[in-house]
Amino acid sequence: MIYNFDEVIDRYHTESSKWDNVGVRVGNGDALPMWVADTDFPCAVPIVDAVKKRAEHPLFGYSYVVPDFFRVTKAWVARRYNWEIESEWIVYATGIVPVFNTMIQAFTDLGDEVIIQRPVYHPIAHAIEDNNRVISDNKLIYRNGQYSIDFEDLEKRASSEKAKIMIISSPHNPVGRVWTKEELTKIAEICLKHHVILISDEIHGDLILFGNKHYSVAALDEKYAQITVTCYAPSKTFNIAGLRASGIVVPNPDIRDGLQKQFARNRSIQQNVFALPAYIAAYTECDDYLEQLIPYLEDNIRFLTQYIHTNMPKIKVVPQEGMFLTWLDCTEMGIVGDELADFFIHEAGVAINRGDMFSPDAHNFVRINIGCPRSTLQKGLDLIRHTYSKKFD
């Protein structure tokens, strides 16, 4: 099937967090939404068909996790990530964020440390703080416009008696890195040595661009698999985050048991009736969608990079290896925090995510969502350029 990602679809009045809630959440209801991490592309046709088919049956009582969920997850992970897993390792979750919270509750005590790598997807830090645990920030190194991992610092942090869990974002939201096999191996070795459980959030793992390769850290070695909780989901890949279905792979029976028991204690495991039909269709019938999406995203990033380079040289596009979220270094604009957010959201009228959501000191960055038709991207960039010209040209 051929998908037309250029098609602009009106998303207002669909209870969309990105479109309908932009006024409440970012303070300018007229701003063009380029923030929340879903795309403006309709999802693949087989997913819509599966949801419609289920909707035709007029009973929406409780459902259970059908065997097909395990079968299709196993096949997807083997096919896409080259990892042969067992069905019994797979745990259904209503999302990846609940896994952070649940794992922290199950495997750490009050005051324990959880290692993260900021700037990073903000609910990871919230999960730690909301549970009264301590953030141990293995800050990413930013040098010459490139991000890398400070392994010396990581080793120190992991060796702390109180460090129990490390959460990685792989590929990394928001900085756009797709971690290499070598980087993942070093992380896993450090966690292994210091008995730290590794949560690998791979929600963006299908969206790998420009010839980069994604590795599931757990697939690299059986001993890494034994300490790792790998979080997969079709949510970003096929734009179905609102349906709430993800597959969590936990080979170690003790970790799996701890996760499942905590889920049960929280009563947070019941899926909605549309989640699994959509998930199963996504992982079995939609490869053609993904194959067409990747080059479209690559072209969007090329377009944005060229546009910004030519018209707004004080903004630097951080090289992006995966995802549909682009990290912009605005240091040379000379404004930060509220002032920088005002520039984009109120003056230009483009709703971005402010960098300091992801790390307090990333107040000179913003994250922009390029998962949209090219004309929407152009519209957003034109709006930003208009304000930029008044200020800087």
What residues line the site for ligand PLP (CB under 6 A)?
37, 95-97, 121, 169, 173, 201, 203, 233, 235, 241, 246
CB-nearest residue to ligand PLP = 95
Tell the smallest beta-carbon distance from residue 36 to ligand PLP (Å). 8
Q: Which is nearer to ligand PLP, 171 or 258 (CB)?
A: 171
Q: How many CA atoms lie within 13 A of 179 on its CB side?
A: 28
Cβ-contact 229, 255 below 8 angstroms: yes
Our CB check for ligand PLP shows the closer of 102 and 364 to be 102
Nearer to ligand PLP, 28 or 235 (CB): 235
Residue closer to ligand PLP (CB basis): 297 or 333? 297
Residue among 39 and 300 whose Cβ is closer to ligand PLP? 39
Looking at beta carbons only, is 38 or 312 nearer to ligand PLP? Answer: 38
Sign for the CA dihedral angle at 99, 103, 106, 109 comes to negative
Least distance between ligand PLP and beta carbon 200 (Å):
11
Minimum distance from residue 348 beta carbon to ligand PLP (Å)? 23
Shortest CB 272 distance to ligand PLP, Å: 13
For residue 335, the minimal CB distance to ligand PLP (Å) is 26
Smallest distance, ligand PLP to C-beta of residue 174, A: 8
Indicate the residue among 203 and 357 with the shorter CB distance to ligand PLP.
203
Choice between 95 and 307, CB closer to ligand PLP: 95
Q: How far is the CB of 244 from ligand PLP (least distance, A)?
A: 7
160-185 in b/e burial notation, b at 16+ Cβ within 10 A? eeebbbbbbbbbbbbbbbbbeeebbb
Q: Which is nearer to ligand PLP, 248 or 383 (CB)?
A: 248
State the angle between helix axes of 97-107 and 253-266 in degrees (0 to 180), rounded to the nearest 10: 110
Nearer to ligand PLP, 3 or 121 (CB): 121
**What is the nearest approach in angstroms of ligand PLP to the Cβ of residue 226?**
23
Smallest separation, CB 262 to ligand PLP (Å): 16
Minimal distance, residue 317 CB to ligand PLP, in Å:
19
Supply 70's token pair.
Answer: 């395990």
HEC profile of the chain: CCCCCCCCCCCCCCCCCCCCCHHHHHCCCCCEECCCCCCCCCCCHHHHHHHHHHHHCCCCCCCCCCHHHHHHHHHHHHHHHCCCCCHHHEEEECCCHHHHHHHHHHHCCCCCEEEECCCCCHHHHHHHHHCCCEEEECCCEEECCEEECCHHHHHHHHCCCCEEEEEEECCCCCCCCCCCHHHHHHHHHHHHHCCCEEEEECCCCCCECCCCCCCCHHHCCHHHHCCEEEEECCCCCCCCHHHCCEEEECCCHHHHHHHHHHHHHHCCCCCCCCHHHHHHHHHHHCHHHHHHHHHHHHHHHHHHHHHHHHHCCCCEECCCCECCEEEEECHHHCCCHHHHHHHHHHHHCEECEEHHHCCCCCCCEEEEECCCCHHHHHHHHHHHHHHHHHHHC
